[in-house]
């Protein structure tokens, strides 16, 4: 179950123990806030299945007070709107259009490793895919999980 990749936080939230993300992950808010203050554009796009799972409801509920508060721009793309897109097969981060960090998860959602790729063809493919996703996706403030 994907809930395990962030420890007990999702289970606690689903059970009704709502918490302030800034208290749990202050290092992330500090990192993103400092990056944005330097002029770095931090964007996150999430492709989600609908109806959304409890885990995605958890992520959505925390995004405004955690990611957006830190300075990230976040958008949501329902998978039904992604059928015509060619997407990377793994969760990833693109840095400065020069490298991609792929996150590898097992079937239970637990992270099993990372892979940093600097191959220009792979980076270009991921950047291109992200830009198309970004254009199709709904800004966090407007997205309502179904």
What are 74-94's pLDDT values in tens digits? 999 999 999 999 999 999 999
pLDDT at residue 8 in the model: 62
Does the structural domain 2-139 have CATH classification 1.10.3470? Answer: no
40 contacts: CB under 8 Å, gap ≥ 6: none
Taking a C-beta distance cutoff of 8 angstroms, is the pair 58, 48 a contact? Answer: no
Q: Where are the domains of the chain?
A: 2-139
Determine the average pLDDT of the residues in 12-22.
74
What pTM, to 2 d.p., does this model score? 0.85
Determine the average pLDDT of the residues in 91-104.
95
Taking a C-beta distance cutoff of 8 angstroms, is the pair 65, 94 a contact? Answer: no
Around Cβ 63, how many Cβ atoms within 10 Å? 20
Residue 135 has pLDDT above 80, yes or no: yes
């Amino acid at each position: 179950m994907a809930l395990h990749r962030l420890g007990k936080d999702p289970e606690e939230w689903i059970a009704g123990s709502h918490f302030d993300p800034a208290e749990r992950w202050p290092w992330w808010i500090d990192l993103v806030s400092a990056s944005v203050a330097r002029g770095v554009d931090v964007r996150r796009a999430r492709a989600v299945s609908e109806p959304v799972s409890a885990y995605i409801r958890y992520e959505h509920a925390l995004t405004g007070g955690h990611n957006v508060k830190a300075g990230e721009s976040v958008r949501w793309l329902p998978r039904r709107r992604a059928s015509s897109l060619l997407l990377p097969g793994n969760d990833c981060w693109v840095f400065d259009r020069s490298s991609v960090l792929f996150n590898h998860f097992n079937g239970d959602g637990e992270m099993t490793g990372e892979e940093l790729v600097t191959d220009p063809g792979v980076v270009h493919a991921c950047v291109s895919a992200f830009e198309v996703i970004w254009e199709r996706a709904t800004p966090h403030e407007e997205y309502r999980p179904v």
